[in-house]
Chains A and B, each alone.
Chain A
């Protein structure tokens, strides 16, 4: 009797963020459709990818609801877990398996974590900040929730290209740093443009009664930058790399405090 072979359809999307392409594979066409929509503008048709991630959709809960994400390094592999997903990434084989609920935000979290780990080794980081390009120069606007990232993004003039209103992608290139667009959105819920430019300045946001820009000392800049860097792993080697990168960044990129009244005039000072 001939063996019965079950052909399982496999759907694929190559998600390219910050020049790093991750191919995501799933057997669920509806989930693939969600991903295509979620990462629209960052999904590339190219066949070459640095990493291969296989997603299995499950309905399980992996941790207490609202628990913090856990990222552990063990036997050369990274283990990530939150209530809505569990993932195992092997940087050597460049493959990952992800078990998650059928929502693209779980994938978002896995991608953010993997990118922070990849970037840490490349002299870069993800930063809790909005970013935009104007006149070929990238500007970062960092701050905690409520500091004005969404507001300054919303006020951006037509000649500014928004890279993100929530999480900036920063990588060392030559003697400077470059910002890339990301699909990681905040309140604005608008994907950034998939482009890049050299970083000219980092602004630490504060809402106030007038528009004012003041240079921040390198030590204050380092402290505030580190407070806004996204990093999840309690790994001494990577913490060391991220710390040194942040110190290097504030030694090379001017950092200012930008106090602003929430109207479009603030952009007259940014060019």
Chain B
């Protein structure tokens, strides 16, 4: 059985959407990266608590016509690449507690 992967945004990164592009800057060497649309989805959803397969299912498979297993394999490779650049943190354990589900207001 494949272990679940969790991804979190690195605290050593500054990020902002400029126009349609997500820019991230690493404190290490002040390096600037522009994220492609898939990486942007990954970055925005990387809360450290949601497993990567859930992020892929909700954010990537719903947005692009792609098989879930292919999307997950590509997302894992992308996440590892972003981690190599210090943009994301990756772990087989949750990196943050799951945010409490917001209660819907009662009618």
Contacts and interface: CB of A to CB of B under 8 A. Distances in A.
Q: Do A and B come from one complex?
A: yes
B83 interface: no
A60 interface: no
A183 to B, nearest CB: 25
Interface stretch (B10-18, B46-54, B61-69, B73-81): B10-18
Interface in A196-226: 217-219, 221-223, 226
Contacts of B18: 218-219, 221-222, 247, 250-251
Nearest to A232: B30
Contact of A226 (B11, B27, B29, B32): B32
A223 B11 contact: no
Given A226-B32, A231-B30, A235-B27, A219 B16 contact: no
Contacts of B14: 239-240, 243-244
Contact of A219 (B21, B25, B28): B21
A217 B34 contact: no
B34 A236 contact: no
What does DSSP make chain A's interface, helix, strand, loop or mixed?
Answer: helix
B32 A234 contact: no
Contacts, number: 47
Interface residues of A, number: 20
Given A226-B32, A240-B27, A243-B25, A218 B19 contact: yes
A236 B10 CA distance: 11
A219 B20 contact: yes
Contact of B27 (A218, A227, A239): A239
A250 B23 CA distance: 13
A251 B11 CA distance: 24
A218 B16 CA distance: 12
Given A239-B27, A243-B25, A219 B32 contact: no
A128 to B, nearest CB: 13
B19 A219 contact: yes
A240 B16 CA distance: 10
Contacts of A231: 30
Contacts of B11: 236
A227 B19 CA distance: 18
A236 B15 CA distance: 12
Contact of B23 (A219, A234, A251): A219
Nearest to B32: A226
A234 B30 contact: yes
B20 A239 contact: no
A221 B16 CA distance: 14
Chain A CB count within 10 A is highest, among B11, B16, B20, for: B16
Contacts of A240: 14, 25, 27
A223 B12 contact: no
Interface of A: 217-219, 221-223, 226-227, 231, 234-236, 239-240, 242-244, 247, 250-251
19 contacts: A219-B18, A219-B34, A221-B18, A222-B18, A223-B23, A227-B32, A231-B30, A234-B29, A236-B11, A236-B27, A239-B25, A239-B26, A239-B27, A240-B14, A240-B27, A243-B14, A244-B16, A247-B16, A247-B18
